[in-house]
Copies of this chain bind each other. A is one copy, B any other.
Amino acid sequence: MTRTTYGDNLVVTDRGGVVENTHEIHAAVTDADGRLLFYVGNPHRITLIRSAAKPMQALAVVETGGADQSSFDSVDLALMCASHSSEERHVQRARQMLDKVGATEDDLRCGGQPSITPQVTEGWWRDGVTPTAVYNCCSGKHAGMLAGAKALGAPLTDYHVQDHPIQQRVKRAVEEVANLAPDEIIWGIDGCNMPAPAYPLTALSQSYALFAKASSDLARDAATTERERWMGRIYDAMARHPEQVGGDGRFCTILMEAFEGRLIGKLGADACYAIGVKESEDTRRLGAKGALGLAVKVGDGSYSILYAVLAHLLEQLGIGSPGEREALRAFHELKMVNSMGVQTGTVNFQYKLHSVL
C-alpha cells in the first residue's frame, strides 16, 4: 500500500480564514473509448467503487433473463441501481420486487441499517419501526440478485458470495464493461455484504460513458448488441426515475432530475462517484468522441466534500447550463454554519483540473 502525493489536488475548508480540514481529490474524465481528457490528482487511483458498481451489477442480472422473467419494469431497474434512502416508496418497491421473484425478505443477505437520510431514520424511531433487510439502501440490488440467481437455476441462498453463479456473472460484466483483465480488478466485501470491485477511476469513468453511449444508441435504434440495448435501458431507468436511485434531497436524485436524462450519476460509499454524460455539444467541446464519463474519489471518504467537488467540476467543465447546475448550488457552496446559523467558514477548491489534450 504505497502512495504518491500530488499536492495540487486539495479541497481546503477554513474557519475564520484558518485552514480547518484538507481533503485529497482524485478524478478522471474520459470518453467511452477510455481516452483520458481531464484529471485531478491520480486518475489511475485504484478505487473501491462500492455502489457505483450497481449499474454493472444490474447488467449482469438482466443478462440472465431474470429481470424479464420476474417482470421487472424500469422502476425496478432503477431501484436495482439505487443506494436509496429507505423511504416508504423504496421499501414498498423492494417488497414488490421480492414478490415478483417469488422470494421473501428472509432470502435477503443484507442486514438492516439506518437510512442514509437522518430524517427517515428519525421517522422510524418515532413510529417504532425496526429496519430489517428490506430497508437496507441496497435492497433493490439484492432483490435483483435473487431474480438473477433464479433465472440461472442457482440456489437463492448465498447469492452474495463471490463463487455463486450470479456473482460470477457480475464479475465478468464488471470486467468487460471496464475493459479490464480479471487480474486488473481486486475484490473486497461491500457494506451490504456483496463483492465490491476496485479498479482505476479511468476505467470507472469509461464504464459510465458506455452506459450514456448505449442510451443514445438505443434511442436512435443504433445499439449493436444485446448488451448495449440492456445498458441503454439501465441508463434510461436511472435517468427517468432519479427519485428511486437516491431519495428526497439526495445529490444523485437532484443531479439527475436537473439534467433531465442527459446524464446519470451514482454514489459509492466512502465518497466515490461516477457520472455518464450523453453525447452533446458539451462533451464534444471537451474532446470526447461521443459520450463522456467522470469518476471521482475523495481520499478520506468525506461525502459533503464529494458533492461540492462534483458540482464544482461540472461547472469547471461547463457540463450543462448554469440553470441546470443551479439545482446543485447548496451542495456546491456547502455553507459552513454553526448551531446558531452563523457562517463560520468557506470551502476552497484548491485542486487543479489538468487538461490532457
Q: List residues of A whose CB falls within 8 A of some B CB.
A: 1, 3, 5, 7, 10, 12, 14-24, 46, 48, 109-113, 122, 125-126, 128, 136, 186-193, 196, 198, 270, 299-302, 338-342, 344-345, 348, 350
Given A125-B125, A340-B111, A189 contacting B7 (CB threshold 8 A): no
- A194's nearest neighbour on chain B, judged by CB, is B338
- A113's nearest neighbour on chain B, judged by CB, is B339
Distance in angstroms between the alpha carbons of A20 and B48 in the assembled complex = 6
Q: Is A190 in contact with B338, judged by CB distance below 8 angstroms?
A: yes
* Chain B residues near A20 (CB-CB < 8 A): 48, 270, 301
Output the least CB separation between A188 and chain B (Å): 3
10 nearest interchain CB pairs? A16-B188, A111-B339, A15-B188, A300-B300, A18-B198, A125-B125, A21-B301, A193-B340, A191-B338, A111-B340
* Chain B residues near A112 (CB-CB < 8 A): 339
Q: Is A16 in contact with B340, judged by CB distance below 8 angstroms?
A: no
* Chain B residues near A15 (CB-CB < 8 A): 48, 188-189, 196, 198
Q: Is A21 in contact with B299, judged by CB distance below 8 angstroms?
A: yes
Distance in angstroms between the alpha carbons of A109 and B340 in the assembled complex = 8
Besides A193-B339, A193-B340, 12 more A-B contacts (Cβ < 8 Å) are A15-B188, A16-B186, A20-B301, A110-B339, A110-B340, A112-B339, A113-B339, A122-B125, A126-B128, A188-B345, A192-B339, A299-B300
- Which of A19, A270, A345 has the most CB atoms of chain B within a 10 A radius of its CB? A19
Given A16-B188, A19-B3, A193 contacting B342 (CB threshold 8 A): yes
* Chain B residues near A7 (CB-CB < 8 A): 3, 5
* Chain B residues near A17 (CB-CB < 8 A): 186, 188
Distance in angstroms between the alpha carbons of A109 and B338 in the assembled complex = 12
Distance in angstroms between the alpha carbons of A110 and B113 in the assembled complex = 32
- Which of A20, A192, A196, A198 has the most CB atoms of chain B within a 10 A radius of its CB? A20
Distance in angstroms between the alpha carbons of A189 and B350 in the assembled complex = 23
* Chain B residues near A302 (CB-CB < 8 A): 300-301
Distance in angstroms between the alpha carbons of A259 and B347 in the assembled complex = 39
Output the least CB separation between A226 and chain B (Å): 32
- A111's nearest neighbour on chain B, judged by CB, is B339
Given A193-B340, A300-B302, A340-B111, A18 contacting B188 (CB threshold 8 A): yes
- Which of A10, A12, A22, A350 has the most CB atoms of chain B within a 10 A radius of its CB? A22
Output the least CB separation between A350 and chain B (Å): 7
The residue that A19 contacts in the complex, of B21, B46, B109, with Cβ under 8 A, is B46
Q: Is B300 in contact with A21, judged by CB distance below 8 angstroms?
A: yes
- A10's nearest neighbour on chain B, judged by CB, is B3
Distance in angstroms between the alpha carbons of A344 and B344 in the assembled complex = 37
Q: Is A344 in contact with B299, judged by CB distance below 8 angstroms?
A: no
Distance in angstroms between the alpha carbons of A350 and B2 in the assembled complex = 10
